[in-house]
Amino acid sequence: MKTIKLKSLSLVNFKGVREFHADFTNAVTLVSGENGTGKTTLYDAYLWLLFGKDSAGRGDGNGGFNVKTLDKNGKPIYRLEHSVTGVFDVDGREIKLQRCLVEKWNKVNGTTDEVMKDETQFFINDVRCGTKKEYQAEISEIIPEDVFRLITNPYLFPRLSAEDQKEMLLQMVGNISDDEVAALSPEFMALLDHINGTSLIKYAQEVAAKKKSCNDALTTIPSNIETAQKLMPEDEDWAALESELADKKKSLADIDAQLSDVSAAANAANQRKVELMRLQGEKRLALGNRQNEIRVQANSDRNKAISDLEAMESELATMERNIATKTRELETVQGTISKLDKDIVGLREDFKAVALEVFVEPTKESLVCPTCGEPLKGDNLAKTLDRIRGNFEQDKAKRQKEIQARGIPMRKSLDQAKADETRLTGQISTLQDRVLELKGKIEYAKAHIPAALNVEEIIGTDPQCVALANEIEELNNRIYADEKPADTSELQEAKAMLSESIAELNRRLGKREVIARCRKEISELEEKRIANNQAIADLECWEDTYTRFLKAKDEMLYERINGLFKYVSFSFLKEQKNGGEKITCVCTVNGTPYPDVNAAGKLNAGLDIINALCVAKGFSAPIFIDNRESVNEVIPTISQVINLRVSYDRTLTIQ
């Protein structure tokens, strides 16, 4: 265990204490004095030296506590050095630490005023540290701050949250393995074998999920059985139904045979009719082809003349559309030419305006030195004028080049637009000549279209057409000759009645399968109910073993934890938080909850906890006990103790 003891503490201008030095014994030191004599200040100085904080955990500076000595008006007394020096014994090795708050005063340029900035300086064995980080690293090597606060403040651990207390206690006793608990009982050993490496928490979740699944299944099984029973039809005389079905199927086969004979005769008549209709179709096709041939030959010249006229009219319309399109393109190009001419004229005017610009020499009074603000003279004036004149000429030339650069693409665009204008003008002229030519041809063609012939009269007197029409009429008479069809209505009616009876018998016989399925489903549901009930019983058995396992583990844990202490004891209790369980840590002193014990009980409880923490963490450090006068006796401690007690002494007394 690393043992840390405070040998001495010196204060200079710290929180109103001008100068104070105290030496401490290795075991118990008593610091006494009236209220306000500096007992708590001594503890604040000790903490500020190590961590830059006071006993309330506040840092120095803005928003924290004030290190500096104040006057009667509460204002800091400046130009004082504030320091705390402590000498420690760390496992027999003496270490001297010092923290100083030094005021740095500097004059403001051009004035007699001074500004002050605080600077904290750090020393280890009288050697100044380069940075605060270096100083804090040395202290952390001696003891980490979080460990220091736990083992020096008897009231800190009980103030921690229940979760933090529990976590720290578990760290102190270490882990209890499941194998250790299983050694207590063969049932526990069987449980570990059963889960086969799965964590107990995960196994408990699996058991809960399986139980829920079984219970959910058991909830639905009764209703499913009732549904299957309701859906199951009544039994019938299945042998009688099958016999009746066989008789009706035989009668239906006899009727189908009779209908088949009638159908064969009808099919032969239909075949003859189909052949006649095929021949009639061939004759109709031949007649149509001959009529089309006559129509084409009769008006071929007239049709050609009309076709040629339509072709010329279509070409004329195309030419007129092309002329309109080219005319619009020409108007756009001419507009572009007009705009480019205007823009180029504008650029020329801009170029002339820039060329006519003349350098105007600034007045001598306006040219001053940028450093001292005095007017320029001599060579400086001449050089400045030359530089300004050169800048003017460079800017003028630059702007003229920019105007020329803008004009080059404009000139190229203008040349291209004029070339497009010439091309479009020629194309429009050519198209207009072709339009005049087409209009003349169209007028001539309209006046010379041949007269139409009477095609139907020619068709009516054509020998081939007359012969084909007569043959078609003869075939039509043979197709629709009066043939009396066979009457099968009675047979069809009897067949329909038999088919309906057979369908009904099949429907009734089909109930046998429904009854079998329902009985099988009910049997499976009953087996499922038995299996789920057995599964729940098995799971509850394992669940009981798991619960007793956890209880045994908790008892071992409590025994180990409370074995660390002589005065206090701890227990982990379950409490409800928003509908769920949460483990909380409870500290008691002789069976009384820590918050309900008196001041002496709380102090001794804290010292008992510190003794255990020192053993667990491997550190001991000085414990400052404030208001020591309120407690008659305190329990022995591993650590050095510095008691702060109120007395009638007007100055601090060290004993």
pLDDT tens-place string over residues 513-554: 888 888 888 888 888 888 888 888 888 888 888 888 888 887
pLDDT of residue 453: 75
- pLDDT (average), residues 231-245: 83
Which residue did the predictor score with more confidence, 23 or 239? 23
What average pLDDT does the segment 36-59 reach? 85
Q: Are 98 and 135 in contact (CB under 8 A)?
A: no
Mean pLDDT of the chain: 85
* Residue 320, pLDDT above cutoff 50: yes
What is the SS3 assignment for 581? Answer: strand
pLDDT given for residue 180 in this prediction: 81
pLDDT at 579: 47
Given a cut of 70, whether residue 501 has pLDDT beyond it is yes
CA distance 444 to 447: 5
Spatial distance between the Cα atoms of 260 and 368, rounded to a whole number of angstroms: 130
Other CB atoms within 10 A of residue 449 CB:
15
Which residue would you say has higher pLDDT here, 303 or 403?
403
Q: What is the pLDDT of residues 53-66, one digit of tens each?
A: 887 778 876 667 88
Once rounded to an integer, what is the mean pLDDT over residues 285-298? 83
Tokens 């008659």 -> residue: 632
pLDDT digits (tens, 9 = 90+) for 117-162: 888 999 999 999 989 999 999 989 888 888 888 899 898 899 898 8
Residue with the bigger pLDDT between 113 and 319: it is: 319
Nearest CA to 213 among 201, 221, 225, 223? 221
Max mean pLDDT among 69-78, 209-218, 373-382 falls in: 209-218
The H-or-E segment that residue 93 falls in is strand 93-107
Encode pLDDT of 323-352 as tens digits: 999 999 999 999 999 999 999 999 999 999
Instruction: Collect all residues with Cβ–Cβ distance below 8 Å to 566 and sequence separation of at least 6.
Output: 608, 611, 635
Question: What residues does 84 pair with on adjacent strands?
Answer: 11, 99
Q: How far is CA 507 from CA 437, 440, 510, in A?
A: 89, 89, 5
Q: How many CA atoms lie within 13 A of 622 on its CB side?
A: 26
For residue 468, is pLDDT > 60?
yes
pLDDT per position as a tens digit, 560-619 = 888 889 989 988 776 555 544 566 788 899 889 999 999 899 999 999 999 999 998 899
Single-letter amino acid code for the residue at 261: D
Res 62: pLDDT: 67
Stronger pLDDT, 353 or 651, i.e. the higher one: 353
Taking alpha carbons only, the member of 66, 68, 97, 69 closest to residue 84 is 97
Which range is most confident: 48-57, 293-302, 335-344, 443-452?
335-344
Tell me the average pLDDT across 48-57.
85
